[in-house]
Chain A
């Protein structure tokens, strides 16, 4: 029997005793693309709770050209809401907290502003080390990527010309196995070091060295006094052992330093919280990794964080993390991609669940570029917005599919590996849509296989928890277990060959009070059994026609321990991948039927 309870029963007793430190209050400020959030956590009745949140529009244009002003406003709003003094007379944060209740014990800032970075991925061989460096580049807000493989260039001067023309913010250098390629890597380092000098002293690209570890001690000779640099584990090695956490962390640290250069006032603000400014995707990844370590190694944990200028897809299998930031897949950046690419727009239009003229869709997408926080006023607007979110999730999953399959060890297939839970963050999930609409967006976008659970994080608390988890894991666990999240429910998604409109699964749900509900799922349908939020039940599953429900292979069933969510227990019989009817009328009818099946 398997426990399928998502975050609701996080195994606290599996954590080492040192994680249960004294209770600390924590203030987290996240500066995002369009909004800056502040969150205050404190211990209440032996448990951590979210005490107050505030939201202020982010801006680096006038009149608040100083990002510190935005931070300050967000914290002042928390002061007003919580009636707790947080600033001292010198305008600094009161820390640690005082006996009179003012101040906080910990103060952390996360940065999720998605200004795209220009990154050069440099290596010895285009297909190996350069490709590995490029993968590392995608763990941050990489807008333009230039791959430079030494073997593909005529000489070192051509490499210098290329870098000088590209004007990168960051150069990631890879190359060499742990015991080889000394001379070639040294030559590459010398070339990159000299290329940095083609830029003004205060505007040189940062360097991340992720090559042959034996040369790490020499990096200082090449870059000290030339530009800022960091050293990460050899990406060639990490590619083999599948542990990218340390490299991701280094990329995150450099991104924070670049942001300090880009965003006026950020540096002064960072002085308020020295060493406590965290790159938002990395913080998100920490929570996903954290959850995966505590759960079954047979399944991964998936997280998707949708913002206006980027989306981050994070997955971890048995603690091994995959993290990719897609700057082209924000709700305010994806429309540009669609408007400029008719082929992508065609795919987008195919997923519209009702007949909306293409011209209107164009207008909507264009308006979304002007006002990324545009609120859908009509039903048609809302439908287009939801289709945009589907498109973002589908594209992120599609682009990450190979990495996910490699990590999970499931080999290449058309399906997403088994994942549980699936976390979805972003204000897009907080715009008044129904739980059924939110779930359907996620199901259509991710198309999970087997049994999973969906947890929504509409207030984007997860990055803050990730930032806090470093010093206070207890807080992260307790808040994850709280009502700050929306538990949508458990989803069973059978996959495999079956004829349309034929039964593919029988399910029997027995709840705590011994009440039973039964269901027979037909191929092509979605169905659900209500189960109150938090209520426990046993779910017996009997797959038919040898479909797979992720319990050991085709045709194999079993019993799961489940807990209820906003949408109860959901059965998605549409198969994987979901194939939509070509005929528009049939397609619209199918969309409507699926939404109705979930309660609309």
Chain B
């Protein structure tokens, strides 16, 4: 049986796909080093097309136009370029009405995709291009500290990491946030009130990393225009010591926050990444690992949600308070206590 891995690693190798949702133009080549704000690919967000009817334009029957076509699909043309013709003594031609790319030349027609300001997909991860995805994007390989969470609102950003002390939750953090922090990615222990969440929204920060957040706030957090990730979970007092320790080493450094939603199938996790320069080989961590004794694990859900410990022993079928009989594992917690929990409700942390 495999368990999903939630990475909290001070140094690891990652490979991340940066890809457009629609086809566009690649801006990088294999092996190229990219910085966080470098473009990987660009595409027209709302592609507009123009259809040119050659039969009409050249004054010919549809089956007569093919010999007069002067362009092929895939080529870029400038406004005014001749696409078909000349025909007859009047030298009738069809010209490109705008700059663009020829998409299709068939049925006596030319389909031209107009050039317009493209959307540039930023790398957001500094590193090396190790794979190209045709007309869509690239895979970036990078080294650094990685902290993955359990929930993200789908946005991404880069900024400077600013940590706030634990215990902020008891008082309103508004006064603590410096005006200079508006361009920062902030870390707070927890957020349990909509007032506090609203304050973050009003401050127009670059991003937010929360140790835990009240589940009722998901609606509102999902609508933020900056990325927000929740590291530990939705219970109060969810532990995120390891993540906090790693983040505290990098206060003030540049950080990438990619709040892509959790997806078990693809291994996507909401995450924060601090790029680091290292020498020597570093291995890539898997997105899931075979369950085995000695693994650092975290309990997801239930009364023990958020507890972290070491998988001490794989037990047989056990009867749960719910009445279900499932395979469980004995976990030794950091404080020395032990607990039994269904294997299916564990994630590996580390």
Pair A375/B215 contact, Cβ less than 8 Å: no
Binds B, one of A299-307, A314-322, A365-373, A396-404: A365-373
Pair A164/B22 contact, Cβ less than 8 Å: yes
Interface membership of B173, Cβ < 8 A: no
Binds A, one of B77-85, B155-163, B301-309: B301-309
Residue of A57, A157, A160 near B1 (CB, 8 A) is A57
Given contacts A62-B286, A197-B73, contact A366 B134 (CB under 8 A): no
| Closest chain B residue, CB of each to CB of A336 | B261
Interface membership of B99, Cβ < 8 A: no
Chain B, residues 103-137, CB within 8 Å of chain A (1/0): the string is: 11011010101000000000000000000001110
The 3 closest A-B pairs by CB, nearest first: A61-B267, A362-B215, A367-B301
Within 8 A of B (CB), among A190-233: 190, 193-194, 197-200, 202-203
Pair A382/B323 contact, Cβ less than 8 Å: yes
Contacts of A309 in B (CB 8 A): 265
Pair A363/B103 contact, Cβ less than 8 Å: no
In whole Å, how far is A186's beta carbon from the nearest beta carbon of chain B?
10
**Central interface residue in B1, B267, B289, B301, by most chain A CB within 10 Å:** B301
Residue of A372, A373, A378 near B322 (CB, 8 A) is A378
Contacts of A369 in B (CB 8 A): 151, 262
Residue of B287, B322, B326 near A381 (CB, 8 A) is B322
B interface residue numbers (CB < 8 A to A): 1-2, 4, 21-23, 46-51, 73, 103-104, 106-107, 109, 111, 113, 134-136, 150-151, 214-216, 218-219, 222, 233-235, 262, 264-267, 284, 286-289, 300-303, 305, 320-326, 341-342, 344-345, 347
Q: How far is the CA of A373 from the CA of B324 in the complex (A)?
A: 14
Pair A378/B2 contact, Cβ less than 8 Å: no
Given contacts A367-B301, A370-B262, A379-B322, contact A203 B23 (CB under 8 A): yes
Interface membership of A339, Cβ < 8 A: yes
Contacts of A365 in B (CB 8 A): 215
In whole Å, how far is A159's beta carbon from the nearest beta carbon of chain B?
10
Residue of A160, A359, A370, A431 near B300 (CB, 8 A) is A370
Interface membership of A374, Cβ < 8 A: yes
Q: Inter-chain contact count A-B, CB under 8 Å?
A: 181
Pair B219/A342 contact, Cβ less than 8 Å: yes
Pair A164/B47 contact, Cβ less than 8 Å: yes
Pair A432/B324 contact, Cβ less than 8 Å: yes
Interface membership of A326, Cβ < 8 A: no
Pair A202/B300 contact, Cβ less than 8 Å: no
Contacts of B135 in A (CB 8 A): 200, 203
Pair B111/A197 contact, Cβ less than 8 Å: yes
| Closest chain A residue, CB of each to CB of B317 | A432
Contacts of A161 in B (CB 8 A): 46-49
In whole Å, how far is A166's beta carbon from the nearest beta carbon of chain B?
9
Given contacts A202-B134, A362-B215, contact A375 B47 (CB under 8 A): no
Pair B266/A61 contact, Cβ less than 8 Å: yes
Q: What would be 16 A-B contacts, judged by CB atoms less than 8 Å apart?
A: A60-B265, A63-B287, A63-B289, A193-B106, A193-B107, A198-B23, A198-B103, A200-B136, A202-B134, A339-B215, A362-B215, A366-B215, A369-B262, A370-B262, A371-B345, A432-B325
Interface membership of A115, Cβ < 8 A: yes
| Closest chain A residue, CB of each to CB of B263 | A61
- 5 further contact pairs, Cβ within 8 A, besides A198-B47, A202-B134, A366-B218: A161-B48, A203-B23, A358-B216, A375-B322, A377-B301
Contacts of B288 in A (CB 8 A): 57, 59, 61-63
Contacts of B47 in A (CB 8 A): 161, 164-165, 198
Q: How far is the CA of A57 from the CA of B216 in the complex (A)?
A: 31
Pair B104/A197 contact, Cβ less than 8 Å: yes
Contacts of B136 in A (CB 8 A): 200, 203
**Central interface residue in B21, B136, B215, by most chain A CB within 10 Å:** B215
Interface membership of A33, Cβ < 8 A: yes
Contacts of A431 in B (CB 8 A): 324, 326
Given contacts A33-B265, A194-B104, A362-B234, contact A378 B300 (CB under 8 A): no
Interface membership of A58, Cβ < 8 A: yes
| Closest chain B residue, CB of each to CB of A114 | B265
Residue of A359, A373, A374 near B216 (CB, 8 A) is A359
Pair B344/A377 contact, Cβ less than 8 Å: no
Q: How far is the CA of A366 from the CA of B301 in the complex (A)?
A: 9
| Closest chain A residue, CB of each to CB of B2 | A57
Chain B binding surface SS class: loop
Interface membership of A583, Cβ < 8 A: no
Q: How far is the CA of A193 from the CA of B103 in the complex (A)?
A: 11
Contacts of B347 in A (CB 8 A): 370-371
Contacts of A378 in B (CB 8 A): 302-303, 320-322
Q: How far is the CA of A382 from the CA of B301 in the complex (A)?
A: 12
Contacts of B48 in A (CB 8 A): 161
Pair A377/B320 contact, Cβ less than 8 Å: yes
In whole Å, how far is B287's beta carbon from the nearest beta carbon of chain A?
4
Pair B266/A379 contact, Cβ less than 8 Å: no
Interface membership of A391, Cβ < 8 A: no
Pair B49/A198 contact, Cβ less than 8 Å: yes
In whole Å, how far is A128's beta carbon from the nearest beta carbon of chain B?
26
Pair A377/B302 contact, Cβ less than 8 Å: yes
Contacts of B1 in A (CB 8 A): 57
Q: How far is the CA of A373 from the CA of B136 in the complex (A)?
A: 33
Given contacts A34-B264, A194-B103, contact A377 B321 (CB under 8 A): yes
Pair A372/B264 contact, Cβ less than 8 Å: yes
Interface membership of A265, Cβ < 8 A: no
Contacts of A199 in B (CB 8 A): 23
Pair A160/B326 contact, Cβ less than 8 Å: no
Interface membership of A340, Cβ < 8 A: yes
In whole Å, how far is B94's beta carbon from the nearest beta carbon of chain A?
16
In whole Å, how far is A576's beta carbon from the nearest beta carbon of chain B?
30
**Central interface residue in A57, A164, A202, by most chain B CB within 10 Å:** A164
Contacts of B23 in A (CB 8 A): 198-200, 203
Contacts of A113 in B (CB 8 A): 265
Within 8 A of B (CB), among A59-92: 59-63
Interface membership of A555, Cβ < 8 A: no
Contacts of A202 in B (CB 8 A): 134
Interface membership of A376, Cβ < 8 A: yes
Interface membership of A364, Cβ < 8 A: yes
Pair B320/A375 contact, Cβ less than 8 Å: yes
Contacts of A339 in B (CB 8 A): 215, 218-219
Q: How far is the CA of A59 from the CA of B263 in the complex (A)?
A: 11
Pair A198/B300 contact, Cβ less than 8 Å: no
In whole Å, how far is B263's beta carbon from the nearest beta carbon of chain A?
8
In whole Å, how far is B67's beta carbon from the nearest beta carbon of chain A?
20
Q: How far is the CA of A370 from the CA of B5 in the complex (A)?
A: 12
In whole Å, how far is A66's beta carbon from the nearest beta carbon of chain B?
14
Residue of B107, B219, B289 near A340 (CB, 8 A) is B219
Q: How far is the CA of A59 from the CA of B1 in the complex (A)?
A: 11
In whole Å, how far is B91's beta carbon from the nearest beta carbon of chain A?
27
| Closest chain B residue, CB of each to CB of A376 | B322
In whole Å, how far is B284's beta carbon from the nearest beta carbon of chain A?
8
**Central interface residue in A157, A167, A194, A374, by most chain B CB within 10 Å:** A194
| Closest chain A residue, CB of each to CB of B230 | A366
Pair A194/B287 contact, Cβ less than 8 Å: no
Contacts of B265 in A (CB 8 A): 33-34, 58-61, 113, 115, 309
Given contacts A200-B135, A362-B218, A375-B320, contact A194 B106 (CB under 8 A): yes
Residue of B266, B289, B300, B302 near A60 (CB, 8 A) is B266
| Closest chain A residue, CB of each to CB of B289 | A63
Contacts of A296 in B (CB 8 A): none
Q: How far is the CA of A379 from the CA of B21 in the complex (A)?
A: 43
Pair A198/B113 contact, Cβ less than 8 Å: yes
**Central interface residue in A198, A371, A372, A431, by most chain B CB within 10 Å:** A371
Contacts of B215 in A (CB 8 A): 339, 359, 362-363, 365-366
Q: How far is the CA of A379 from the CA of B320 in the complex (A)?
A: 9
Pair A366/B344 contact, Cβ less than 8 Å: no
Pair B301/A364 contact, Cβ less than 8 Å: yes
Contacts of A61 in B (CB 8 A): 264-267, 287-288
Given contacts A198-B113, A369-B262, A370-B300, contact A375 B345 (CB under 8 A): yes
